[in-house]
Chain A
């Protein structure tokens, strides 16, 4: 039991234990009631019939949905790489000593952090083609996602760089490195490791954003579900399965982010080595223990 759970209640005594048992039973009854109501709704509209779920045990249906998932992952990967790179450049721009650069990067981030992605998608769908910029479907989804996600990445990178102890930069400058070298050799490697969990969390958000392919009619997972359900007329079954796939993929990513968080952003078993590398205290007897 962790700290949060402990602060509001003591180790339960006999009366509290009775109350906990009552609350558990009540909760279970409510949960079961909701479940029964859901099953009843499904059954009374004939959506529980085996014939309406059977297609989801066949390979062609799964192959179609997994193709959709593959397209989702491809779009997410392209968006992640491009927007992380652009976001890093923007963060460096916002922290640069060059005033116009700082201003430009700041304006970009502030603007695209508060404009909905769907509006950007409508711009690439309906505005840009008028000016001769008619991208393939894949890029019609990825470009707006990169534009809005790079602003989010920029803020993550900036906060990570700012959170690093200033002494690191000062020490770098003191040993004669140039500002760019300090950033590349000292600040970024440490900041990136610290940021790993936030970056993976952002990845979950970005993967969810690719569901906007539904609007672009790029056949990623959600739009594949739409196409499939218009053929099979198995609306609720298809979208429940699609939701389940999203849930499995994103929950694994979130779990990974939490593992990274628990390890303080370090991959592999490097924490042990790091403490071993610490120099011994200068004055053995005087260090407070």
Chain B
């Protein structure tokens, strides 16, 4: 129930005119701040969804961006080029991504460990190539694919409606949290942890590791696609970055920084990473040399965290708690 307090605060946040200097440029309910927070929430959800694979089931996939891009570009293409209504397009894009995750997962999950990482990386690379080649003018190549405002319902368009987009992002995050935490509590969650720790034992218990992993892969793919859709609505269009390996690497960084496989770690990591990434880009120009590059700061932080803070932010908290208790 403790989780409800931050949720209520997050829902109520757009009514606050609190101005936090340095952290945000404007008051909390200004469109700029809400947009920034919305992107943070989406990345929190994406990171938690990825952590279902990486932290919970122990599947090191380097192809998660593919499914985010499938959701993002799927909606963009259906809405812009085929004039579908937004919500039908969203449904179809997410379903399409789930089917793609099923087909690719069926091949990729035949191998484990590093080989799995390689195969998923290669599949995602195909997505990146296709998006950049702009087949038939569908994806817009390097320019990206801006979402035509005519197709989007009025309450999601325009600066004044940023607050609705913020709530949409929050809703996405809540959905991901509900699903991932539901799985954690269900017997399936324990099976996943078992798969991560010792796959043979799960097989000996009479369960099929392959099928469970595939189901998890499909679910994570669908959540990623949904996140991609929300990201497109929030930022107004799909960009090739959504299909890039860099995005998957960022998700890994988020999950690990926050604490992979913990209840709130990846979510927290995603929010903090996305916040730093955007803020550092914003204030970057005023910082000297490499400090002006967000990825330099984040990458260095990440290496340090991996080396010195195993368990990420969540692990840090646990250790502080146990230190104060003893």
A binds B: no
